Amino acid sequence: MTKKSGKLCEACGGQNTKIHLTTYPVKMGEKQINVGRVSARECMDCYAIKPTKAGQEKIERCMMTFMSLLDDDNFGSV
């Protein structure tokens, strides 16, 4: 049995949600990047996943790091 968190699912409106750590997919154009160990709320009725505030902050930090790795200045001249 899961504890009802009082938060509504944005997809179906259900209240039966559970918070856990999961791999969260982020789409960048045609590519998908999987960010690991993100705190997310999962609806137990429709299985939609939505990151919590802390989870969204981690996704933003990871994406900023990823984008800085793609920056041409970090690779120098070859």
Which amino acid, one-letter code, is at 8?
L
Which amino acid, one-letter code, is at 42?
E
Q: Are 16 and 25 in contact (CB under 8 A)?
A: no
pLDDT tens track of the chain, all 78 residues? 455 556 789 999 999 999 999 999 999 889 999 999 999 999 999 999 999 999 999 999 999 998 898 886 655 555
- For 45, phi then psi, to 5°, come to -95, -50
Domain 17-71, CATH class in plain words: alpha beta
* Sequence ranges of the domains in the chain: 17-71
Question: Which pTM does this prediction carry?
Answer: 0.77
